[in-house]
Amino acid sequence: KTKTMSKQTQSDIRRIAKEIGEMVVAKNVAYGDSAIDPVRVFSKADPVEQIKVRIDDKLSRFMRGSDYPGDNDIDDLMGYLILLKIAIERHGE
């Protein structure tokens, strides 16, 4: 039996993916591409490891209920995962 997905669900997936993509681009412009091409003042970790640390920090705050006003943890996590995928493609795992 073939499973189907509603047109509404397909539309919602595309809309959310576009919104997250636009957010990641806007933040990356604002932060000077720091996730993929960090300045490396203190840390010498590669971009893949640095993004993983940011994901761990976000998950830790989420699990402890330590939200910051204006943060959207779900959107931020999706954004970091997109950046992680890009970093892995560019720099390897």
Residue-wise pLDDT tens digits, 36-63? 888 888 988 899 999 999 999 989 888 8
Angle at 71 between CA 48 and CA 77, to 5 degrees: 30
> How many angstroms separate the first and last alpha carbons of the chain?
38
What percent of the chain has a predicted confidence (pLDDT) above 90? 55
Give mean pLDDT, residues 57-84. 86
Tell the residue number behind the tokens 């990641």, with chain if given: 24
Strands in 1-93 per DSSP E: none
pTM: 0.83
CB–CB of 38/44 below 8 Å? no
Q: Is 64 exposed, middle or buried (0-12, 13-18, 19+ CB in 10 A)?
A: exposed
